[in-house]
Amino acid sequence: MLEVQSISKTFHPGTLNEVRSLRGVNLHLAAGSWVIIIGTNGSGKSTFLNAVAGTFLVDQGTIRLAGRDVTRWPEHARASLIGRVFQNPFSGTSPSLTIQENLSLAARRGLGRGLGWGLKESLVARMRDEVRRLNMGLEDRLENAIGSLSGGQRQALTLLMATWLRPELLLLDEHTAALDPKSADLVIALTEQVVTRDKLTTLMVTHSMHQAASLGDRLIMMHRGQIIHDFQGAEKRRLRPDDLLARFEDVRRAEQLDESAAQMLAEQYV
Amino acid sequence: MNLLIGTFTIGFILSLLALGVFISFRIFAFPDITADGSITLGASVAATLMVHGTSPVLASLAGFGAGMIAGACTGTLYTRFKINPLLSGILVMTALYSINLHIMGKSNVPLLTVTTLATQSEHIGLKLMRRATTFGLLGWEVNVRDASVLVAVALVVALTGMLLYLFFRTDLGMAMRATGDNVQMIRALGVNDGNMIVFGVAISNGFVALSGALLAQYQGFADVGMGIGMVVWGLASVIIGEALVGTNSLGMTIVGAVMGSVLFRLLVAVALRWGLSPNDLKLITAVFVFCALIVPQFLRKKRLRSAHA
């Protein structure tokens, strides 16, 4: 489904701010698999998601999605294959448009947009059904501007929008990190519902070790722009939050070792 | 009374300018000052065509089209060549000055002997009133010619405003509104935001140019200098409209822009009547917009301060 072949990306090359965000990342995703991505800050997990989404073009490597080479496709073209939910609840919806207008935009993701009437009756009827299933009482407020909703409500709607047309790939970029715990649980429940119901191929970045351990069928851990662990099948199912924290501790210790070794070398030889 | 009718007529004509400015400044948050050039472009294209015998309707539509091309140029400078929006507008506006002179062949084209939308609507009005040249309205004597032009202009504005409203509720129109609202989201939904901006700025300048085409027909000439300061004028109208009706719904903001334009023109007429020198008009307009821009900030600060106290 998704084949990422040794992609690399360096931001601000040749300057003091040079950051090698992705360093030869490989990932092959089977159709219908749900992969959780964790990693330290600056490990490149969000950058990896953005590379797949086409927010920027990679320096090296190829990205194939649903049998097509999308490496050079611009972001809006890849959107025909990809549904996305962002970390910031404000990023996924258009605040001054109404709920139904936002949903109708999502109903034409990747399709042409002409002078067809945006809010056809059949579409609005389906919206009411789908929004009712969110259990947020929003089905009677379809004509309210999205800007008046809470972060949790907006994130639930963004998830609905991203999956309105079945995407080949669903990208969730820490989509509950900015929500209060109750809203986060609700959005996660909705996520599980839709991913399992539609058998969506999903890449999900999270900070929550609990989510990482309980969700998905595969887990990768990133560090310094590379994938350092890849747990699949039974190994993934056995993982507990504590195991993951222990892995992070290993990474941290290795890093400290690097630094203290460098310091020791510097003291002795420089 | 006839002065009032004239004021309303110009107010309605310039409300198309206000709608254009509303599209670029408010829908796209794109500070487009091409309008100063495209309003003259619309006037010069329409005037030159009419002098050469084209029908006024076709000539006005050609003005609209010319404005769209100018707007598309500005949008392309911004989206394809990554030039700052203000500078893109300045470049196209400056180029348009020469282009307008080329189109007209001189700095001023009189339309006094030509059939225009204004003379056509006067003609229809006179026919409907069975050749009477005045009629009574609330005790005033009203000139039929002036009244019929006002009615015609009001109809044109109502029609274009309605079309704009309907357009912004189509799939394409909603994608354009969302582009100005949240670029990240609209890209993630598969819309090429650059194309939306080019198209949006084109429509905006089409409206502005149509306003210029109608203005030239109403005042009886097109002049190369008629566009100076028009962006600020349109912005003032939009701001007044927002103060009148708020910014909650699309339909009301469109109505607001039209109302704002008429009201602003009325205020100007009153000020001129009270002895304001026409030379000071642009200065006053600029100061007005300046105040309208800073007063909300000032109020917010004050409210914050009183909240802390």
Q: How does DSSP assign A183-198, residue by residue?
A: HHHHHHHHHHHHHHHH
A218 and A203 inside one domain: yes
Q: Is B132 on the interface with A (CB under 8 A)?
A: no
A137 and A253 inside one domain: no
In DSSP notation, B126-158 reads HHHTTT-SEEEETTEEEEHHHHHHHHHHHHHHH
User: Residues B2, B4, B5, B10: is their CA dihedral positive or negative?
Assistant: positive
Give me the pLDDT at residue A43, please: 87
A229 and A255 inside one domain: no
A134 and A256 inside one domain: no
Give me the pLDDT at residue B144, please: 80
Q: How far is A183 from chain B (nearest CA, A)?
A: 21
Mark yes or no for CB contact B190/A77 under 8 Å. Answer: yes
A220 and A268 inside one domain: no
Q: Is A102 on the interface with B (CB under 8 A)?
A: yes
> How far, CA to CA in Å, does A114 sit from each of A105, B168, B176?
12, 11, 11
CA distance A136 to A189: 13
Give me the pLDDT at residue B284, please: 86
pLDDT band per the 50, 70, 90 thresholds, residue A270? low
Q: Is B279 on the interface with A (CB under 8 A)?
A: no
A206 and A182 inside one domain: yes
Mark yes or no for CB contact B185/A92 under 8 Å. Answer: yes
Q: Taking CB atoms and an 8 Å cutoff, what residues of chain A touch B163?
A: none
CA distance A64 to A68: 5
Residue type, B303: R
Exposure on the CB side of residue B79, measured as CA atoms within 13 A: 21
A122 and A251 inside one domain: no
| Chain position carrying tokens 């509720």 | B169
In this predicted structure, the answer to whether residue B309 has a pLDDT above a threshold of 70 is no
Tell me how many domains chain A contains: 2
The answer to whether position B249 is within a domain reads no
A54 and A100 inside one domain: yes
The answer to whether position B300 is within a domain reads no
Tell me how many domains chain B contains: 1
Q: Is A50 on the interface with B (CB under 8 A)?
A: no
Interface test with B, best of A93, A113, A124 (most B CBs within 10 A): A113
> How far, CA to CA in Å, does A127 sit from each of A143, A146, A190?
11, 14, 16
A167 and A148 inside one domain: yes
Contact between A37 and A45 under an 8 Å Cβ cutoff? The reply is yes
User: Residues B66, B235, B258, B215: is their CA dihedral positive or negative?
Assistant: negative
Give me the domain span that covers residue A265.
Answer: 243-270
- Radius of gyration for chain B, computed over Cα atoms and rounded to the nearest angstrom: 20
Q: Is A154 on the interface with B (CB under 8 A)?
A: no
CA distance B219 to B216: 5
Percent of chain A residues past pLDDT 70, beyond the cut: 100
Size of chain A in residues: 270
CA distance B242 to B259: 10
Look up the CATH number of the domain holding residue A175. 3.40.50.300
Angle between helices B2-21 and B193-219 (to 10 degrees): 160
ipTM above 0.95, yes or no: no
Residue-wise pLDDT for B250-297, tens only, equals 889 999 999 999 999 998 888 888 888 888 888 888 888 888 888 877
Mark yes or no for CB contact A117/B170 under 8 Å. Answer: yes
Q: How far is B80 from chain A (nearest CA, A)?
A: 14
pTM: 0.88
A41 and A69 inside one domain: yes
Residue-wise pLDDT for A124-140, tens only, equals 989 998 898 888 888 88
Interface test with A, best of B189, B197, B203, B247 (most A CBs within 10 A): B189
Higher pLDDT, B95 or A135: B95
Q: Taking CB atoms and an 8 Å cutoff, what residues of chain A touch B171?
A: 104-105, 108, 113-118
CA distance B146 to A96: 40
Stretch 189-248 of chain A: residues touching chain B, C-beta under 8 Å: none
Average pLDDT over residues B145-164: 92
pLDDT band per the 50, 70, 90 thresholds, residue B36? very high
Q: Taking CB atoms and an 8 Å cutoff, what residues of chain A touch B182?
A: 90-91, 93-95
Residue-wise pLDDT for B207-218, tens only, equals 999 999 999 999
Stretch 177-216 of chain B: residues touching chain A, C-beta under 8 Å: 177-178, 181-182, 184-193
Helices vs strands, H then E, count in chain A: 9, 10
CA distance A138 to A41: 35
